[in-house]
Amino acid sequence: MTETTTNAPSRPGRLSEFWFYFRENKGAVIGLYVFAVFVILAIFAPLVAPHDPIMQYRDHLLQPPVWEDGGEWSFFLGTDAVGRDILSRLIHGARYSFYVGIIVVAIAAAGGIVLGLISGFAPRWLDTIIMRIMDIILAFPSLLLALVLVAILGPSLTNAMIAIAIVLQPHYVRLTRASVMSERTKDYVVSARVAGAGIWRLMFITVLPNCMPPIIVQAALSFSSAILDAAALGFLGMGAQPPTPEWGTMLAEAREFILRAWWVVTFPGVAILITVLAINLMGDGLRDALDPKLKRS
């Protein structure tokens, strides 16, 4: 008996199937590569960056990038108003951006999924309470609410991340609740109940895995909005505090030189743009690859 089951063929790998569909979307693949490059840069920032990000070279204030008149190879993208190397600051800044993205998405998704599951399974009164609270959070412009929260908690990168996580969370709650609602009436959920599954097993083992694809896509897309929001808060002086080389904070510090030294403002902005664009492209590809309706097999 056991011999017959040991030679059972294993799965052809869900990952390879996923890659097959993901590969078809060229934009998504480019996004993935750009994203991967940024991740590698962020991980090996101290090795890659030519200078210390907060080291001030007082002889090289506002030095233009290398291809402009007066540029130097040692400061490839130029320096800012106090003589810090912009390239090094951008590379180190990537660390903060990904740090913010990962932590924010983790908090928002974990909280949102649990609340959404409870809301989908709970009696109607509890569902109503949870959903009305989420509606109230959604009714505020997201950046305004994040600003208020940071103002209450005090400006720092950690508090900014908590604030952004709270602002992004209702999207996960709604998404999870909607999928749970449509899944829980299906026969396989009833059959799991008949098979004796308790409410926790139903929630996390039976229903949740079937709700994951839209949540994964939402996680990828809100990764970029978390980076964007963190940069916005940094720009408003409510996020990472100087001299942290966070992209938004760099923009804020460079505001007054926008006419005199374009490179101080442009490069952090371009870094934010490229990262967010790459992640969004990747998220679109993820959606196409995970949506069972688009599969042809």
Partner 1 sequence: MTDPILKVEDLQVTFDVRPRGAWPWTPSLKLHAVGGISFDLNPGECLGVVGESGSGKSTLARAIIGTVPTSGGKIIWQGTDLAGMDERNRRTHRRDVQMIFQDPLAALNPRMTVGQIIAEPLVTHKPDTPKDDVRRMVAEMMERVGLLPNLINRYPHEFSGGQCQRIGIARALILRPKLVICDEPVSALDVSVQAQVVNLLKDLQKDMGLSMIFIAHDLSVVKHISDRIVVMYLGRAMETATSQTLTTRPEHPYSQALIASVPIPDPVLEKARMRPVIQGELPSPLKPPSGCVFRPRCPKVQASCALERPQMLDLGKGHQVACPYHEAHDVLHATA
> Of 143, 201, 237, 266, which one interacts with partner 1 (CB under 8 A)?
201
| Minimum CB distance to partner 1 smaller for 74 or for 191 | 191
- What are the beta bridge partners of residue 85? 79
Q: Are 69 and 261 contacting, i.e. CB atoms less than 8 angstroms apart?
A: no
Q: Does 15 bind partner 1 (CB under 8 A)?
A: no
Radius of gyration for the alpha carbons in the chain, expressed in angstroms and rounded: 23
Half-sphere exposure of 127 (CA within 13 A, CB side): 13
Residue type, 248: G
User: Using CA atoms, how far apart are residues 262 and 57, in angstroms rounded to an integer?
Assistant: 19
Interactions with partner 1, residue window 86-105 (CB under 8 A): none
Which residue, 18 or 188, is less far from partner 1 as judged by CB? 188
Q: Judged by CB, which is closer to partner 1: 211, or 286?
A: 211
Query: How many residues form the binding site for partner 1 (CB under 8 A)?
Result: 25
Nearer to partner 1, 101 or 120 (CB): 120
CB-CB contact of 31 with 277 (8 Å)? yes
Residues within window 151-190 making contact with partner 1, judged by CB under 8 A: 186-188, 190
CB of 209 to partner 1, least distance (A): 4
Residue 4 makes contact with partner 1 by CB under 8 A: yes
Residue nearer to partner 1 on the CB measure, 9 or 141: 9
Phi/psi for 132 (5° steps) reads: -70, -35
Q: Does 2 bind partner 1 (CB under 8 A)?
A: yes
Does residue 199 bind partner 1 (CB under 8 A)?
no
Report d(CA 200, CA 244) in Å as an integer: 43
- The interaxial angle of helices 157-184 and 124-139, nearest 10 deg, is 140
Pick the stretch among 7-15, 141-149, 254-262, 273-281 that binds partner 1 (CB under 8 A). 7-15
Each residue 115-154 as x (binds partner 1 by CB under 8 A) or -, in order, gives: ----------------------------------------
- Binding status of residue 69 toward partner 1 by CB under 8 A: no
- With respect to partner 1, which residue has the nearer C-beta, 66 or 192? 192
Give residue 105's region: left, alpha or beta (phi > 0; psi -120 to 50).
Answer: alpha
Select the span of 99-107, 141-149, 191-199, 264-272 touching partner 1 (CB under 8 A): 191-199
User: In whole angstroms, how close is the CB of 195 to partner 1 at the nearest point?
Assistant: 4
Is 9 a binder of partner 1 (CB under 8 A)? yes
CB atoms within 10 A of CB 286: 25
Indicate whether 16 belongs to the interface with partner 1 (CB under 8 A).
no
CB atoms within 10 A of CB 199: 9
138 vs 193, beta carbon nearer partner 1: 193
Among 19, 24, 209, 255, binds partner 1 (CB under 8 A): 209
Which residue in 12, 39, 4 sits closest to 282, CA to CA? 39
Tell me which residues touch partner 1 (CB under 8 A). Answer: 1-2, 4-5, 7-11, 186-188, 190-198, 201, 206, 209-210
